[in-house]
Structure 1
Amino acid sequence: MKVAMCDPSLFTGRYDDSLCAAMAGEGAEVALLGRPMRATDAIVPRGYRYEPRFFRRSEALRRRMGEGRAFRLLKAAEYGLSCALGDLAPLAGADVAHMQWLPLAPADRIMLRRLKGRTALVHTVHNADAYHADAGVQGRGYRGLLDMFDALIVHGGTTREALERQGVDPKRIHVIPHPPMRLAPAGAEDLAQVPDAILPRLLFFGTIRPYKGVDLLLEACLSLWRAGHRFELALAGKPFMDIAPLIERVRAAGFGERLITDLAFLTEQRLDAHMAKADILAFPYRHIDSSGAFLSALHHGKAMVTSDAGMFADLPEGVAARTPAGNAPALAQALLLLVESAAIRQALGARARTYGDSMGNWKDMALATIAIYRGVTGK
C-alpha cells in the first residue's frame, strides 16, 4: 500500500510522525509531505520518507520577513499556485492521498478536484469546526471539501456527531481513537532554560488561541491570588492572539512575579521541560474535539484541570479535575483544591498516567487506518 500523507504546514508534526512510522512498521510505503522543517520541529522519519513539497519559497524567507501579514500573504499565494499548477504526482501516484490538514480551503478545493479519480482521498477531521471558527478565509468553504473525500477519519463521537449534524454521510465517517503521544524528551540544557518552581506551578502550554481559554485561566488565577493563595502560572507557547492586555492585568494587580512567560514557537524538548517542572497542567478550552496537547502530557503524571468540552467530557471520572467550559469561577474552585493540596495533585497525576497507559497505541491506529485505506481502494 503506497500512502501519501499530507500536512502542508506541518500543523501536527508529532502526530504525523507517530502515525507514519507506525504504518511503515505494518508494511505500508509512506511519504509524509509537508513544508521544510524548522529548528523547532523534532521529526526523525523512521521507516517512511519526509518530503518538503510545500511552502519552500516562503519558508526560505520566513526569518527575513518575520511572520506578519506580508509573510502570510506570500504563503497563501505560494500554496494557491501549488494547488492549481504544482506537480501532484507524489499524491496522484499513491494508492491513497491522506490529507491531515487543509490549510487554505479555496486552494485545497482546486487541488482535490485535480486529484479526484486519480487516487483514493482520505481526510482526518481533527476539528469539525474548521480551525475552531478562528481562521477567516483559511477555513471558508471547509465543509464543502468534506464531500470530496472517499473516507473521513475522526477521533471521537463528538466529532462524528458534529459531522452528521452538518449532513455528512455517516457511512463515510470512521472513528479511530487518538493514542497518547510523547514529545521529544527534554535534555539537561532544555531543563536549565526553564526556571525551577518556587511555588506550586500551573502550566498552560501550546499555541495560544482564543478558543483555548487562556483569558479564563488568567481571570481564575487573579481571583485566587487576590484571595491570598500562592502559586505560579507559566504560559509556554506562541500566541495567535493579543495577550499583552491579559499579562498587563496580572502585572497591574501586583502579581507579575507569579507569572512566567515563554512566548514563542518552542521546541518539543522545551515544552517537555515545562511539563516536567510543572505541578498542574491546565486545559480550559472553550471548545475542542480532540486535544493533542492533553494526550502528549499524560505520561508525565501531572494533575490536570480541563473544561468539559469535546473529548474532555468523555474522560473517566478522576482522570482530571473537570469544570464547565467558559466558567472562570468554577475553574478557580477546581484550581484551589490543586494548588493547596500536594496529595490531591499526586493522586490526580497518578490517575492521569494510568489512564494514558490504558489507552490505545499507534500500532492499533495504524492498523485501523490501513483497514480504511483497503476499504476505499479495494486492495
Structure 2
Amino acid sequence: MRVLIVEPVAESGDWHYASLMGGALAECGIDVSLATLFPKTPVSALCPVPIYPIGPLPDELRWSRFVSLKRAAYHVRKMWGLRRLIIMLRPDIVHLQKPLGAADFVYLRYIRRLAPRLVYTVHSPLPSRLGPVSLARLRRMDLILVHDAATQRQLIEAGIPASKVRRILHGNYIHLCHPRDLPPADARRSLGLHPEARVILFFGSIEWRKGLDRLIEAFAMVSQDFDDVYLAISGYPNEDFATYRAHIERLGIRDRVVVNLQWVPCSEMQRYFHAATMVVLPYRRISQSGVLQLAYAYERPLVVTDSGGIAEAVLEDGTGLVARDSQPAGIAAAIRELLSDPERAALMGRRGRMLAETKYAWSRIASDVVSFYHSICNSDTAVHA
C-alpha cells in the first residue's frame, strides 16, 4: 500500500506530527512519502521516509500591494506541485493533515480522480457550526481521523457517517525531546532565574483561543501567595503581543514573567521544560495538543482547562489537574494545588512519561491507522467524485 501524507502548511507542530506518523507507518510496512513546503525543518522520525516539495514556504515570497493576486498565484503553484507529485507516486491513499485551501473541496474532486482514497486528520478545533464549505470538504473524505470525543461527536451530528469518523490517540513527542541533559537548576539559570525558582510554563503558538490572557491573570493571583514562582511564556505570536505585554504591566508582574517570542527548535526545548515546575494549557478551544505530549515526554505535570481532548487525556491519565472552571480564578486554584503538593506533582509528571512510552507509542497508533486504511481500500463504498 502506498500512502502520501500531505502537510500543506508546514507549521512546526503539524509537521512534527506528520513526520512521526509517517515514520511509524513505514515501520508497519506501509510505503509512505511525505509532501510539504520547502525548506522544511528535519525531524528525527522513527523511520526515515522520503520527503517531496509541493512549493516554497510563503515567507520566501515578497508580498507587494498586489497581495491577493500573488497569494492566488502561490496557491495555484502549490496545488500544481501536489498534482505533479500524486501523478508521479500514484499513491493508494492521499492523507491530508490540513485543508488545502478555503475552497479545497474543488481540488479534492480532481485529486480523487488521481488517488483512489482520501483521508483527513482534524488537528484544529472545528467551528461550533460547520459551514457548507467545511462540510463539502469533509464529505469528500473516505476516512476522517480525530483526536477527541467532542470532535467525533460534532462530525457525526453534522451528518458525517459514523463509520467514516475514527478516533485515534495523539502520538508521543519523545523523539523530539533531545537532548535531555540540562539539569533543572541550569535550565532556570539559562532563563535568568534563580536555580531554585518554581516556573509555570506556557509553551506554543500564541493566539486568542490558547487563553494566555487567562493564565497571566491567574499567575498574578498565584504570585501573591508564592514569592518564588515565575511565569515563562515561550511561543511565536500569531497576533499582536502588545496586548499581553500591557496586561502583564497593568497587573504589576513584569519582574516575575520571562517572555520568548521566537520559535524554539527541538534542541532548545529542554531549557523551558526542564526549568518548568508545571505546564499550563489554559485553552479556550482545542482538539488535542502536541504541547501536552511534550509535557509528558519531559515528565512535567499539567494544569489544563476543560477543553477538547486535553481535559479528556489529563483526567484519564492522572497526569495533572483540570481547572474547576476556565476563568483565571479556577486556573489559579489548580496551580496553587500543584505547587502545594510537589510530591504529587512529580508523580504526575513521571506517570506522563510512562504513558508517553506505552499508551501513546506511535507503533500502537500507526497499527490502528493501518487497519483503518485497509478498511477503506477494501470497501466498495468510496466517495465518488
TM bucket normalised to smaller: 0.7 to 0.9
**Structure 1: runs of 5 or more not aligned:** 134-138
Please state whether the residue corresponding to 1:288 is helix, strand or coil.
coil
- Deviation, structure 1 residue 74: 4.4
Cα distance between partner residues in 2 of 1:339 and 1:71: 49
- 2:107 matched residue in structure 1: 111
- 1:156 matched residue in structure 2: 148
Confirm whether residue 35 of structure 1 aligns to residue 37 of structure 2: yes
- 1:90 matched residue in structure 2: 85
* Residues 295-336 of structure 1 deviation map (CA, whole Å, 9 limit, x = unaligned): 122021112111121123322273211114532111111112
Q: How does 1:189-208 map to 2 (within 5 A)?
A: 194-198=191-195, 199-208=197-206
- Deviation, structure 1 residue 54: 2.6
- 1:79 matched residue in structure 2: 75
- 1:7 matched residue in structure 2: 7
Confirm whether residue 185 of structure 1 aligns to residue 198 of structure 2: no
Cα distance between partner residues in 1 of 2:194 and 2:205: 22
Q: Give, as a single letter, the amino acid of the residue that structure 1 aligns with 2:350.
A: A
Q: Give, as a single letter, the amino acid of the residue that structure 1 aligns with 2:23.
A: A
Please state whether the residue corresponding to 1:54 is helix, strand or coil.
strand
Confirm whether residue 298 of structure 1 aligns to residue 296 of structure 2: yes
Q: Give, as a single letter, the amino acid of the residue that structure 2 aligns with 1:146.
A: L
Q: How does 1:128-147 map to 2 (within 5 A)?
A: 128-129=125-126, 141-147=133-139
- Deviation, structure 1 residue 87: 5.5
Q: Give, as a single letter, the amino acid of the residue that structure 1 aligns with 2:219.
A: C
Please state whether the residue corresponding to 1:144 is helix, strand or coil.
helix
Q: How does 1:235-254 map to 2 (within 5 A)?
A: 235-254=233-252
Please state whether the residue corresponding to 1:141 is helix, strand or coil.
helix
Cα distance between partner residues in 2 of 1:194 and 1:186: 17
Q: Give, as a single letter, the amino acid of the residue that structure 1 aligns with 2:139.
A: D
- 1:136 matched residue in structure 2: none
Cα distance between partner residues in 2 of 1:227 and 1:309: 27
Cα distance between partner residues in 1 of 2:53 and 2:279: 34
Q: Structure 1 residues 5, 325: CA separation in 2 closer, same or farther (over 3 Å shift)?
A: farther
CA contact (8 A) 1:42 1:184 kept: no
Quick one: percent identity of the two aligned structures? 23
Instruction: Tell me how large the CA RMSD over aligned residues is.
Output: 2.9
Q: Structure 1 residues 140, 75: CA separation in 2 closer, same or farther (over 3 Å shift)?
A: farther
Confirm whether residue 323 of structure 1 aligns to residue 316 of structure 2: no
Please state whether the residue corresponding to 2:118 is helix, strand or coil.
strand
Cα distance between partner residues in 1 of 2:179 and 2:191: 11
Cα distance between partner residues in 1 of 2:65 and 2:144: 32
Q: Structure 1 residues 99, 316: CA separation in 2 closer, same or farther (over 3 Å shift)?
A: same
Q: How does 1:233-272 map to 2 (within 5 A)?
A: 233-272=231-270
Cα distance between partner residues in 2 of 1:278 and 1:331: 17
CA contact (8 A) 1:205 1:271 kept: no
Please identify, of 116-125 and 232-241, the stretch whose mean Cα deviation from structure 2 is larger: 116-125
Please identify, of 309-318 and 111-120, the stretch whose mean Cα deviation from structure 2 is larger: 309-318
- Deviation, structure 1 residue 121: 0.7
Confirm whether residue 121 of structure 1 aligns to residue 118 of structure 2: yes
Q: Structure 1 residues 349, 184: CA separation in 2 closer, same or farther (over 3 Å shift)?
A: closer
TM-score between both structures, scaled by the size of structure 1: 0.86
Cα distance between partner residues in 2 of 1:319 and 1:127: 23
Cα distance between partner residues in 2 of 1:221 and 1:128: 26
* Residues 59-85 of structure 1 deviation map (CA, whole Å, 9 limit, x = unaligned): 433xx77xx9988984554124433x5
* Residues 16-56 of structure 1 deviation map (CA, whole Å, 9 limit, x = unaligned): 11111111112221111001135xx3424633101121335
Confirm whether residue 99 of structure 1 aligns to residue 101 of structure 2: no
Cα distance between partner residues in 2 of 1:211 and 1:95: 36
Please state whether the residue corresponding to 1:35 is helix, strand or coil.
strand
Please state whether the residue corresponding to 1:122 is helix, strand or coil.
strand
Cα distance between partner residues in 2 of 1:295 and 1:249: 29
- 1:278 matched residue in structure 2: 276
Cα distance between partner residues in 1 of 2:152 and 2:18: 21
CA contact (8 A) 2:200 2:230 kept: yes
Q: Structure 1 residues 244, 344: CA separation in 2 closer, same or farther (over 3 Å shift)?
A: farther
Q: Give, as a single letter, the amino acid of the residue that structure 2 aligns with 1:91.
A: I
TM-score between both structures, scaled by the size of structure 2: 0.84
Cα distance between partner residues in 1 of 2:68 and 2:34: 23
- Deviation, structure 1 residue 339: 3.1
Of residues 181, 203, 210, the one that matches 1:212 is: 210
The count of corresponding residues between Structure 1 and Structure 2 is 364
Of residues 165, 168, 189, the one that matches 2:160 is: 168
Q: Structure 1 residues 29, 59: CA separation in 2 closer, same or farther (over 3 Å shift)?
A: farther
Q: Structure 1 residues 126, 70: CA separation in 2 closer, same or farther (over 3 Å shift)?
A: farther
Cα distance between partner residues in 1 of 2:355 and 2:148: 17
Cα distance between partner residues in 2 of 1:148 and 1:340: 51
Cα distance between partner residues in 1 of 2:171 and 2:208: 26
Q: Give, as a single letter, the amino acid of the residue that structure 2 aligns with 1:54.
A: G
Q: Give, as a single letter, the amino acid of the residue that structure 2 aligns with 1:165.
A: E
